[in-house]
Structure 1
Amino acid sequence: MVWRPCHPGGKGSEMSDGQITVSGLTKRYKNLLAVDGLSFTVQSGRVTGFLGPNGAGKTTTLRMLLNLVTPTAGTATIGGARYADLTDPVRTVGAVLEASAAHRGRTGRNHLRVLCAAAGLPDHRADDVLELVGLTPAAKRKFKGYSLGMRQRLGIAAAMLGDPKVLILDEPANGLDPEGIRWMRGFLQSLAKQGRTVLVSSHLLSEMELLADDVVIIAAGKLVRQGPVAEVLASMSTSAHVRVRTPQADALAAALAGIPGAVVTPRADGTLLVTGVEAPAVGKAALAASVELHELTPERPDLEGVFLELTAGKAGIR
């Protein structure tokens, strides 16, 4: 398709000033402290995953960022300005905090045209964004006939009407099938490559590991860890983890017993988990003891494991 931005310079350098900065953000509802002194940054040109257990304060934080909830303390800015102070918010920020809602009898195209009229945008933007999210074939279908996945795409189309520098999405993959999730991943990554800021909240940790450049992990309203995905994963890898499959498990355990720090743990699937020693050392010990190996695989921590370890025991609601 031919992308027609709403304003000059819709790509390139203008997309670089959409950094999100959250500083000391706090929200208290009577006896409930939903967000507690939260601080983090989201850089332009990258996809940032916003992660946390249920009740961790993610949605409350996003709503404060979009001026839908007033903070008890602290600030949340986009490009250095509060959302309420943006001169042209629809062209700066696009957001989807839940599956798109629309009049049941209105078509997808007409729903978007109504939003264009309200925002002072040209009608052609409705067709532009429908094509962008792959909904052109359903443009004339009424909203009541849209699946949840189609409603998610329509919501993203609405968020993109102003060709914004910043995109904020809360659980955008809900209702999407595997093909739709793959499309979503490519779409959001392509926006980040254009220099846009993309902040995505999700519970699909395996997908976030594939999608995100950076992660912000919170629990009980507080920051637990922030950084590039690779660095966060590496920071939790305090010792080597090697998966071994052998018909001579006892012999291998005996061979490794003389290596300081090596621990062998049987797994339910018949493999052994060897920690405290690298894979080459395991192979060398097996060779010296004439132990037959069927598998020798170094394991790295995944985002799900790191997330569970970082948030373990931290209550989501107080």
Structure 2
Amino acid sequence: MSDGQIVVSGLTKQYRNVRAVDNLSFTVEPGRVTGFLGPNGAGKTTTLRMVLNLVTPTAGNATIGGQRYGDLAEPLRHVGAVLEASSAHKGRTGANHLRVIAAAAGLPRQRVDDVLAMVGLTPAAKRKFKGYSLGMRQRLGIATAMLGDPKVLILDEPANGLDPEGIRWMRDLLKSLAAQGRTVLVSSHLLSEMQILADDLVIIAAGKLVTQGPVDQVMGSMSGAAHVRVRTPQADALTAALTAQNATVTPAEDGALLVLGVDAPAVGRAALAAGVELHELATDRPDLERVFLELTAGKAAIR
């Protein structure tokens, strides 16, 4: 088993009459960014807290590199985590906040300067925490998580409070960390961003696994996930030509035709053979938001 592999096996958490997580199992691989998605109340944060031994499971277990987080000899050197925007003493500077944590963990002082530079906070290192914006606090949280140069990074809504430039910075940073062979597990509600950022997805609802796998596989698993969009002044002729090839043709509200069962080149060839003029021809793939909503529809949080 890889040092950075996260294995969640049969995790269950029962709070009196509420089952927050229900027999949940999935694996997170090193060298990849894994998006952890689910509606509000799906059990994402509870799951992450169980992985980090902040919450005791009712059943099941979670390991990182084959060990429970609580059994790691030097956890900060193995796992960095941000479950909410960084908190610190309001009168302490960002640099001093990191120095206290580094000293307590036996980490070299140089790591403070390294991680401040990594997250772009060097110019604000001597500013007091109370003057930090939410985006700056998110960056400080990432810096704190990276102090031990860990192989595994677990983040809950890391882009919260970031402006578009900050979100792009976060994306580039997490992709670069994964490219170094680290394991990056990210929970987020920003589905459009996760479609760009993530290599793999784990989607849960009502505490249960809905699906997992590479982004393209999850996107392509939907029935009718991709269709060809075509526009022509000779809709009837093209429909007949495509139907003869066992394609399914559905008129769209805007006058275009939506074609399932054949790809765009096949539609173009059919149009050419039938002497049909085309004004538009494109493959229309759903975004992650549409796939996510379809996958989780009707799966309300357990109460």
Q: Same fold (TM over 0.5)?
A: yes
Matches within 5 A, 1:219-238: 219-236=205-222, 238=224
**What residue number does 1:72 align with?**
58
**What residue number does 1:153 align with?**
139
Q: State the AA in 1 paired with 2:262.
A: V
**What residue number does 2:261 align with?**
276
**What residue number does 2:203 align with?**
217
Query: Cα distance 1:94–1:266, how it changes in 2: closer, same or farther (>3 A)?
Result: same
Give the CA deviation at 1:250.
4.8
* Unmatched runs of 5 consecutive residues or more in structure 1: 1-14
Q: State the AA in 2 paired with 1:52.
A: G
Query: Does the alignment pair 1:96 with 2:91?
Result: no
Give the CA deviation at 1:237.
5.2
Between the aligned partners of 1:25 and 1:300, the Cα distance in structure 2 is 34
Range with bigger deviation, 257-266 or 95-104: 257-266
Between the aligned partners of 1:97 and 1:214, the Cα distance in structure 2 is 20
Alpha-carbon displacement from aligned partner over 1:188-231 (angstroms, at most 9, x marks no partner): 11111211111111111121121111111111111111111122
Between the aligned partners of 1:251 and 1:242, the Cα distance in structure 2 is 17
Q: State the AA in 2 paired with 1:290.
A: G
Contact 1:23 1:39 (8 Å CA) reproduced:
yes
Q: State the AA in 1 paired with 2:88.
A: A
Range with bigger deviation, 182-191 or 112-121: 112-121
DSSP-derived class of the 1:152 partner: helix
Q: State the AA in 1 paired with 2:54.
A: L
* Unmatched runs of 5 consecutive residues or more in structure 2: none
Between the aligned partners of 2:195 and 2:227, the Cα distance in structure 1 is 19
Alpha-carbon displacement from aligned partner over 1:151-193 (angstroms, at most 9, x marks no partner): 1100000001111111000011111112111111111111112
Residue from 2, 9, 19 that aligns with 1:23: 9
Task: Percent identity, please.
Answer: 79
**What residue number does 1:308 align with?**
293
Give the CA deviation at 1:271.
3.3
Give the CA deviation at 1:17.
0.7
DSSP-derived class of the 1:75 partner: strand
Between the aligned partners of 1:219 and 1:298, the Cα distance in structure 2 is 30
**Equivalences, count:** 303
Residue from 178, 185, 188 that aligns with 1:199: 185
Alpha-carbon displacement from aligned partner over 1:228-273 (angstroms, at most 9, x marks no partner): 11222222255751011334445544544544342222134x5332
RMSD: 2.0
Between the aligned partners of 2:75 and 2:204, the Cα distance in structure 1 is 27
Between the aligned partners of 2:253 and 2:188, the Cα distance in structure 1 is 30
Give the CA deviation at 1:150.
1.0
Contact 2:85 2:137 (8 Å CA) reproduced:
yes
Matches within 5 A, 1:1-318: 16-236=2-222, 238=224, 241-268=227-254, 270-318=255-303
Between the aligned partners of 1:140 and 1:100, the Cα distance in structure 2 is 16
Between the aligned partners of 1:154 and 1:240, the Cα distance in structure 2 is 40
